[in-house]
Amino acid sequence: MSSSGGGKRERSADGGGRKGIRWDEQNLEENERIKKELNPRKIDEPKTPYLSPMDTDEEGDAGHRMRPLALDNPATAAAAAAAVAAAAEAGPAMGNGTSDEAGTSGASGSRGRGRHVRIGRAWSDSDRTVSPSPRHPEGGSGGSGRSPRFGDQYYGEHEGDDEEEEDGSADPQRQEKRRRFKEARKQHYNMREQLARARELMDAAESEDSEDLAAAEREQQGSVCGIDRTIAAPRSGKAAAGPARMSRYARAGGLLLLGAGGLAAAASTTLALSEERSPPRWIYSKLPSREEQVRRLSQGTAANPYDVLIIGGGATGTGCAVDAATRGLRTALIEREDWAAGTSSRSTKLVHGGVRYLEKAFKNLDWSQFKLVFEALHERNVLLKNVPYLSNPLPIMTPCYKWWEPPYFWAGLRMYDLIAGKEGLEWCRYLTPSQALSRFPTLCSHRKDGQSLKGAIVYHDGQFNDSRLAIMLACTAAAAGATVLNHAEAVKLIKDPEGRVVGATVRDTLSGRQHSVYAHTIINAAGPFSDEVRELSQPNSAKMIMPSSGVHVTLPDYYSPENVGMIVPKTKDGRVVFMLPWLDQTIAGTTDSSTDITMRPQPTEEEIQFILDAIADYLVVKVRRSDVQSAWSGIRPLALDPNATDTASASRDHVVTVDPDGLITVTGGKWTTYRLMAQDAIDRAVAEGGLKADACSTAHLKLIGSEGYHSALFTEVAQNYVVPHRPGAIDTNVAKYLVASYGDRAAEVTHIAEQRKLGKRIVRGYPILEAEVIYAVNNEYCETPEDFIARRTRLAFLDKLACEQALPRVVELMAEEKRWSRRRAAAELRRALAFLQTFDAPHPAA
C-alpha cells in the first residue's frame, strides 16, 4: 500500500486477521488502542529519550511508577541546571551497552524492569508489516524499515544504519546527529535501570526489618524522588541488621543519584541520611575589627537607620543578631559588658528538655510546662547539629534507693524519650546496682539513712560550652553582615515626636565616646536587666523580671566519671541537683532562690554548702569544702507570673512583648531554646516595623567553626603540630581541647603557637595555650583580661587559684598585642583580680 499518511495499513499475512494500524498522525489514539489489542508479538517501540523517565512503560514499570521530582524551588532548579551540565560530560561513561543487551532478549517478548527491551523486529516501509531487523538474521529484509512516526534518527543504531555507514555518500551532519542521539539514548536507558534498581533496594530494605528492630531504631525522615522514606539509625548495639540496612539505603541512594545524572531532577534529590546544606560564603570571611564595627555603628543615622537594633549580648541577643542578619536585615547588636558576661556564661551547661518541667506538667496537668519540654527537646537536637564541637550528648544517671523509684523514674524518663521522638538521643535504660556502681564508681551503695542502692536509670541529654557558644553566635552574626559591638552601653533611648522609640544613645565604655544609633525596631534582650532598659523609655513601667539565683561549684575530676553525669532527683527542699563532668572537672548545682539583680553576683556560703550536702548523700567520696575550686552565681531572668509564690514554680518559657512606645522585649526561656526565642523576637520585629525579610534559616545554619569539624579533627591537629623539639609543639590533649573550643579554626591557633613560639601552657594543669590570647584578641573581640579568663576560656569557672596564677601572663600578652601602656596594663590586672573574687563566697571578714 501507499506510504501516504492518510492510508490505512493492513498487517501482512503473518498477522492473520488481526486489525490494522493507522499511521497518520490524526489517528494516534486509535493506534494506541489497536496496539494494546495485539497480543502476540506486541510491538514494543522504545520511548524517545526526551520523555521523562518517570513516564514508565505499560507492563514492566507498572508496579514501580515513581512520581516526578519537584523543581519549583529556585535553588533546586539552579542546582539541577548544574547537574545537567555535569551529566552531559559524564553521560557516555554511564551508558554501558544497556540498549544492546536488551535487544538480545527481545525475541521472547520479555522486558526487564526499568529497561526497554526490543523484540528484534522493525516496520517495513513497503507494507508496514512486522519484519525481522537486519541485526537479527532470523528475520527478512528491512534495511530501511523504521516507523515514519519517529523518523530515521530513532533507530540510529539499527535498521538502515549498516547500509548508510557502508555507503560513503551518507550526510555527515546526519551521522553526527545519529551519534549524539545514540549517546543520549544509552544514557536514558541506563538512568531508567539505575532508578528501578534503587527502588528495588529501598523496598527490600524497608520490608526486611521486624517490629522489634523498628522499635529499637531511631527514625529520620527523608525524601527520595518525591517518595517519603524512613531511614532508621539504631538507638543501641541491639540492632545487628542496622548497618546492613543503612548500607542498602546508601547503595540505593548512590544508584539513584547515578542513574538520575542525565536529568536535572537528580540535583533536587536528597537521600535523607543527613540534611547536608552548602555553607554560606560569608562563613569563612574575616571578621571586621572592633574599630570597623564602631565606624559602622555610627553610620546608623536617622536618614539611614538600621532595620533592627538589639540591646543585650547574651544567649537571646546574639541569637537575635544571627537570625536577623541571615534574613537580610540590616542589624546592630550592642552589649554593655562582654558577650555572655552575665547569666549566659553561668548556666548548668546542659542542653536539655527539662526533666523536672515534665514532672510538673504531669503532676499539675500544666500544658505550658509540657509545651516547654516539647519545644526544648526539638531545639536540643538543632543545637547539637549546628554546633557539634561545642556540644555533645551526655548520659546522666538517676540513682534509686527506694523500691518504687526504678519503675517511677523509668516511666517518666521513657516518656521524656517518647516526647523527643525521632530527635531523641538514646532510650533510657535500667542498670542493676552492680552495673550502676561500675559505671559511676563514686556512687555509694548504702546511704546514711540506711537505704541501699536498688539500681539506676540512665537517660541522655546534651552538654555544651555556654559562653563560647555566645561568642560564636556574635562572630557568626558579624560574618553575616551585622554590626556587633561589645563594651557598648545603651544609656538613653531616642524617641520620635510621636513618642515611638527609634534609636538609642550608645556609649563605648572603652573609649568613652557616644553615638546616636537609629533603627526601625529596637529589641530589648538584656536578660535580668530588661526592666532597666525598659525604664529608659518608661520610668514607671511594671516589672517583668522575677530574678532567680542559680549557684554552681566546681570540684576535682575524681568526683565523677569522665563521661557520665548524675542527677539528685530530690533534695531536702524538693529541688534537683546535677553533678556533671565538664572540661575535665566536675560541676555541681544548682540552687533556685530569689536574689537582687547585680552585674557581679556572688554565691553565699549557705548556697555552696547546700550543694555539697545534696551530693554528699549519694557519694562515697568525702565531700570537703576545701575541694571547691570555684563557685559562681547566675541570675535567671524568669518571666514574671503574677500567680507564682516562689521562683521554683515560675515558668521557664519565654515571653515577647511590645510596649506602647514600640520597644520589643524578649525575656525568660533558657539556653536550649535561644534559637526559638530569637526567631519569635525577629518575627515580631518584622511585623511591627513593616520590614521585608527572608524566612528564618537558623534551624539549619552551622555556626563558625562547625563546617569543617568532624570527630577525628583533633588527630589532624595533633599530627600536624606534635613534632618533638619544635617550638610551639602541642600534645594530643591540647589538640583535643583546641578542637573542642574552636572547631575547624583550631589550626589558626596552632599556627600562632608555631609562628610566635606561644605553644606553652598558660598555667600548669590546664591545656590553655598562650597563643589563644593572641587569637582571641584578633578574632573574637576579646578586649579585657576578664573576657579571656571567663568567656574565651573558662579558667575562672574551673579553678580560681590557677586563674590568679595565669592572669599576669594574660595581661602581658594582651598589653603587647593591644599596645597598652604600663598604667593601663596594671589597671586591667587589678580589675581582673577583683572580678575573680566573685568566684567564691565572701570571706567572713567582709
User: What are the tens digits of pLDDT across the range 550-575?
Assistant: 999 999 999 999 999 999 988 877 78
Whether 527 is in a domain gets the answer yes
pLDDT class for 37, splitting at 50, 70, 90?
low
C-alpha cell at position 651: 515558668
Per the rule left: phi > 0, alpha: psi between -120 and 50, beta: everything else, 833 is: alpha
Q: Same domain, yes or no, for 580 and 524?
A: no
Q: Which helix (H) or strand (E) holds 316?
A: helix 315-326
Same domain for 102 and 128, yes or no, is yes
Domain with residue 416: its CATH number is 3.30.9.10
In this structure, of 537-541, 679-683, 729-733, 826-830, the range with the lowest mean pLDDT score is 729-733
Which pLDDT belongs to residue 207?
52
Q: Which residue has the higher pLDDT, 496 or 6?
A: 496
Strongest mean pLDDT among 241-250, 436-445, 565-574 = 436-445
Q: 193 and 77 in one domain?
A: yes
- Domain hosting 20: range is 1-40
Judgement on whether residues 313 and 456 belong to the same structural domain of the protein: no
| 86 and 1 assigned to the same domain | no
- 345 vs 368, higher pLDDT: 345
Please identify, among 642, 661, 687, the residue that sits at the C-terminal boundary of a domain: 642
Residue with cell 538502515: 160
In this structure, what CATH number is given to the domain that contains residue 504? 3.50.50.60
Confidence of residue 166 (pLDDT cuts 50, 70, 90): very low
Domain boundary among 276, 302, 317: 276
Strand ranges in 509-589 using DSSP code E only, listed in sequence order: 514-524, 545-555, 565-568, 577-582, 585-589
pTM (2 decimals)? 0.70
Q: Are 353 and 376 in contact (CB under 8 A)?
A: yes
Q: What is the Cα–Cα distance from 427 to 350, expressed in whole angstroms?
A: 18
Q: Which residue has the higher pLDDT, 97 or 478?
A: 478
Q: Residue 517: name the closest of 525, 508, 509 by CA.
A: 508
Residue 267 lies in a domain: yes
For residue 827, the domain's CATH number is: 1.10.8.870
Q: Are residues 692 and 794 in the same domain?
A: no
Q: Is residue 284 part of a domain?
A: no
Backbone angles phi, psi at 456, to 5 degrees: -155, 155
The reply to whether 377 falls in a domain is no
Alpha-carbon distance of 592 to 274, in angstroms, equals: 39
- Pair 254, 186 in one domain: yes
380 part of a folded domain: no
> Do residues 684 and 733 share a domain?
no
Q: Are residues 223 and 315 in the same domain?
A: no
Cell numbers describing residue 160? 538502515
Please compute Rg for the chain using Cα positions.
35
So what's the pLDDT on residue 456? 97
Instruction: With respect to residue 845, please indicate whether it lies within any of the assigned structural domains.
Output: no
14 versus 273: the higher-pLDDT residue is: 14
* Per-residue pLDDT at 358: 86
Question: Binning pLDDT at 50, 70 and 90, where does residue 74 land?
Answer: low
The overall average pLDDT reported for the chain is: 77
Q: Which residues contact 520 (CB under 8 A, 6 or more apart)?
A: 305, 306, 307, 308, 502, 689, 690, 691
Q: pLDDT class for 259, splitting at 50, 70, 90?
A: very low
Residues 632 and 659 in one domain: no
pLDDT attached to residue 199? 61
Report the 10 Å Cβ neighbour count for 334: 27
**Higher model confidence: residue 48 or residue 592?**
592
Tell me the pLDDT band of 720, cut-offs 50, 70 and 90: confident
Question: What are the distances in angstroms from CA 604 to CA 404, 572, 654, 760, 838?
Answer: 36, 18, 28, 36, 10
Write out the DSSP string of 28-86. HHHHHHHHHH--TT---PPPPTTS-TTS--SSTTGGG--PPPP--SHHHHHHHHHHHHH
Residues 484-492 have a mean pLDDT of: 97
**Cα 356 from Cα 373, distance rounded (Å):** 9
Which range is least confidently modeled, 201-205, 595-599, 629-633? 201-205
- Calpha distance 14→748 (Å, rounded): 81
Confidence of residue 189 (pLDDT cuts 50, 70, 90): low
CA distance 29 to 36: 11
**Are residues 523 and 552 both part of a single domain?**
no
Q: Would 360 be classed as within a structural domain?
A: no
Question: Looking at the predicted structure, is the pLDDT value of residue 45 above 60?
Answer: no
**Overall number of domains in the chain:** 5
Q: Is residue 361 part of a domain?
A: no
Choose the most confident range, by mean pLDDT, from 418-427, 464-473, 535-544: 464-473
20 and 161 housed in the same domain = no
Residue 817 CB partners (closer than 8 Å, separation 6+): 773, 774, 777, 778
CA angle 456, 458, 459 (to 5 degrees): 150
The pLDDT tens digits for 266-317 are 333 333 333 456 788 898 889 999 999 999 999 999 999 999 999 999 999 9
- Looking at the chain, the whole-number percentage of residues with pLDDT higher than 70 is 66
pLDDT digits (tens, 9 = 90+) for 648-684: 545 568 899 999 999 999 998 899 999 999 999 999 9
Which residues are CB-contacts of 106 (< 8 A; sequence separation ≥ 6)? 44, 117, 118, 119, 120
Alpha carbon distance 379, 521 (integer Å): 26
Q: Report whether pLDDT(764) > 70.
A: yes
The span from the CA of 246 to the CA of 787, in Å, is 46
